[in-house]
Chain A
């Protein structure tokens, strides 16, 4: 199929992109890698009147780490981020998440920030971002603001962005050494959408978990943080029973929807299994006993 007609605009900078969004109004959409938006347009499920292409804006292309964490610009391609030394050092859970998304050619085109801003609750990158924590930088006509990863995702394909704002980049928080991560997803085939996924982080100090983050994808309308599971982990020594308990807590209380790939009950079961297995891996990486 061919998309409905639209007007194409190319922004040379973040400021220009924000200005174009303001000028073109509600019928304008940001075009980054286009790996979600363009198929939706070709299937005629989306019909924006205007596209503002930000992939030629040099100030949006950067990837870099500082003490606060890893910054990823809105035009940075997934494959570039996935293989970047700074990502592997500062946000390996994000690298794992990216490597599970789509095929390599798709990742050469798609952007990390585009996936996060698209806010598909079963997608990999939003869950990894939320698990590690960080901030979204949004820019609109009135300037820029920071939005916490905790507050950014509001519902299915819905975020805290205001009309006229674009995401110019995300910063993923740094975790100290002694941190391990686990990212696991379950999909029927390698290339199909995940039915459920788990992104977890644990920090182990002197044989005890002192910080943990557990996020589930594909089970709710947003990537879902599981504080009850984290509470079981923090203060405990890493171990199979603790992980099983945390996984149980992570899956308790969620009410995933059913579709042709699996019922809600099956997704819940997967959430428990994936969380347990991801925690086991994370603890090994953190250097703790399992």
Chain B
């Protein structure tokens, strides 16, 4: 284990709060409407920023006239590419620095536009209403060009989204040994499917937004932003604006989700900072919902040509995936593609001797792709769907087929055919637990009866069954690579400080966007220092040690590790000071309940506040080598990856006449190691599963044949509400990770397992009708169409 935690002093801390469902410290504020989001901040003199955007998917700009907009009363500035682009540096995210590939790197559209929503001009005005009026006065004439919209043919298309790149392929990779073709050919049976995933939007409850203010007196930039990564914001802002990082202060309030969208800065966010610097006033941009749905980023638009070969008794022998992803025009953070990440995880928690994969990422004239909760999850969708198809082919129950292939304790550590090494996971145990939770065998028995009844009721001569509902059950398993520790992602830092009155501040490099770090990090610190979590205040943003922030399910392991290391250092110091003051050995002290006591002599005790007071105010009373104060900064460096795993199961019924899917029950068995706060873990899983249900059944960003977005409000882009999701049931298997505390990340898993789980349940329900489902979302209309097609 890496990480600096200082000398070990006294007994290790007792786990009083870690592991408990401590009520969230942020909830009283959030539930009584006292949360503070970026949109709440409107200092006097604020300029309101908005963007004139392209209404064409691909066109040359033949005329751009800003005069009328600039002349409107209350408008402070209207700027175009010619005004701003020359002034800014690279917009790349820190993980994709110049030279790392990705789309062209410019702030505003310059001469041409490449998707509907491409920002062409930025307008600043005295109020949101005036800036909206001014937008309508920006005149743009276009000469339309043929857009590249079909990602499946984009690679071969000579029509280029970005002519300066010379190709529509942004990234490709493959590892397809000849042995995999031999293994597939030698399999007793094999199944193949081309699975196309629907384009989705992150759709956070709070859209993007920031308030930026340039302070001329000391030449610094203050940024209040809805982000997952305050430090990435500071680094990127400094790079783009040509500032030193110490000239940028990034502040975070409450954040209403991001799910990957708010890791890297978008072009609009950079533009707002540029405006702030130029105008010397606070500049505010709160993204509209339609902008968020059409111009921030999209996700999940993948195609997977997947095959699975097996022996006659269902032992997997080979699997292949030919993967293609749609990167849109300007991918979030300049990301050139993450297909490799998807492909190497294809084996999931199964023994598969031979695996081949190939991936390509292509540009299209659509909104750019971004990270979205489990950005690589097509591997689980492809794998779990093809497993169910193989089960139907072999006439082996899909649960039984998984049991024959799933990794068991005796298989670990396990090297996958794609070069990963799994250890400390429990896929077989989770599969068994979820099967019991959902009463798998009982459901199958009921299903047989219902199928017989519905089958008997079919009217003769009907092309398809006209009435009744068919029940289905789905299962999906996956291994989640959480807390990936490479490059900038490998470490997090934290500072823990006990103030002179005994209250505790913890400064973390994180970017909690709603996932409860304010509570869970406080639990870790509280245990180390023997105080109540309510006595620990959590800070993010300016002044905290560098950290990459929220992404890749990393905070529990890496930020938790940093908080643990920093608070262990403070604990050691606190115990040594208390020992000196009470003339005892640190090893004889108990720390808890906000006090230090000599073991066996409860009368000899000092409160943490008294020790802290002495640490600052009575330096002469301290041990000779302690120069006063009570704080410690530490970093934690994570192992390359910390695997968590889960099994999902759900039941549904499908109304044959309408194609409507009703989810009945949903159970998840998850192994995220030692839980810091089980209630928060449940919340993470529930939120992720709800998003996955949306992805499987409802959510689809669509464009018309000219590349105009059709899903521009929540009236068209449907997200699940409480009415569309069943109650969730949670089971836990605990296998400790090898990081301090034994935690594993679980932020994304819910959204990974749920899409294939729901898909499999619907396919299972409709299996008696011979329906085959490979394309999402499973809207009522699509299901009804599939039923009719299967009936011939």
Contact = CB atoms under 8 A, between A and B. Distances in A.
Interface of A: 1-5, 43-44, 186, 188-193, 195, 260-263, 266, 269-270, 273
A134 B43 CA distance: 54
Interface stretch (B262-270, B294-302, B714-722): B714-722
A189 B721 CA distance: 8
Given A266-B784, A266-B785, A188 B718 contact: yes
Given A2-B129, A266-B784, A192 B715 contact: yes
A3 B129 CA distance: 7
B721 A262 contact: no
B290 interface: yes
A190 B781 contact: no
Given A1-B290, A5-B133, A186-B660, A191 B721 contact: yes
Q: Which 8 pairs of residues, A with B, have the shortest CB-CB distance?
A: A190-B723, A2-B129, A262-B781, A2-B132, A273-B657, A266-B781, A2-B128, A189-B718
Interface in B745-787: 779-781, 784-785
A273 B784 CA distance: 13
Interface residues of B, number: 29
Contacts of B724: 189-190
B780 A188 contact: yes
Nearest to B694: A189
B244 interface: no
B713 interface: yes
Given A1-B288, A43-B290, A260-B702, 14 more contacts: A2-B129, A5-B129, A44-B136, A186-B658, A186-B780, A189-B698, A189-B721, A190-B721, A190-B723, A191-B723, A260-B710, A260-B711, A262-B781, A269-B784
Interface of B: 128-129, 132-133, 136, 288, 290, 657-658, 660, 698, 700, 702, 710-711, 713, 715-716, 718-721, 723-724, 779-781, 784-785
Contact of B779 (A2, A193, A261): A261
A195 B782 CA distance: 14
Contacts of A193: 715
Nearest to A47: B136
A6 B273 CA distance: 32
A184 to B, nearest CB: 10
A189 B660 CA distance: 10
A66 B718 CA distance: 42
A192 B711 CA distance: 13
Contacts of B657: 269, 273
B781 A263 contact: yes
A188 B779 contact: yes
B723 A189 contact: yes
Contacts of A3: 129
A4 B698 CA distance: 33
Nearest to A270: B658
Contacts of B132: 1-2, 4, 44
A260 B198 CA distance: 13
13 contacts: A4-B133, A5-B133, A44-B132, A186-B658, A188-B718, A189-B698, A189-B721, A191-B721, A191-B723, A192-B718, A260-B700, A260-B711, A263-B781
Contacts of A43: 290, 713
B658 A273 contact: yes
A263 B781 CA distance: 8
Contacts of B720: 189
Q: Is the interface of B mostly helix, strand, loop or mixed?
A: loop
Contacts of B288: 1
Nearest to B723: A190
A59 to B, nearest CB: 33
B96 to A, nearest CB: 32
A204 B188 CA distance: 65
Contacts of A2: 128-129, 132
Contacts of B781: 195, 261-263, 266
A242 to B, nearest CB: 16
Contacts of B719: 189
A193 B716 CA distance: 9
Contacts of A195: 780-781
A48 to B, nearest CB: 15
A183 to B, nearest CB: 16
Q: Name the residue among B133, B658, B724, B781 with the largest chain A CB count within 10 angstroms.
A: B781
A69 B110 CA distance: 64
A172 B51 CA distance: 48
A188 B698 contact: yes
B65 to A, nearest CB: 20
A4 B136 CA distance: 10
A273 B129 CA distance: 46
A262 B723 contact: no
A273 B466 CA distance: 9
A160 to B, nearest CB: 27
B702 to A, nearest CB: 6
Contacts of A190: 721, 723-724
A188 B779 CA distance: 7
A191 B290 CA distance: 18
A4 B128 CA distance: 11
A167 to B, nearest CB: 25
B90 to A, nearest CB: 31
A52 to B, nearest CB: 21
A186 B784 CA distance: 14
A240 to B, nearest CB: 10
Nearest to B700: A260
Contacts of B721: 189-191
Nearest to A274: B658
Contacts of A44: 132, 136
B125 to A, nearest CB: 11
Q: Name the residue among B136, B710, B718 with the largest chain A CB count within 10 angstroms.
A: B718
Nearest to B291: A1
A16 to B, nearest CB: 28
Contacts of A261: 779, 781
A119 to B, nearest CB: 18
A44 B713 CA distance: 13
Contacts of B713: 43
Contacts of A189: 698, 718-721, 723-724
B663 to A, nearest CB: 12
Contacts of A191: 721, 723
A261 B700 CA distance: 10
Contacts of A4: 132-133
B288 to A, nearest CB: 5
A158 B477 CA distance: 53
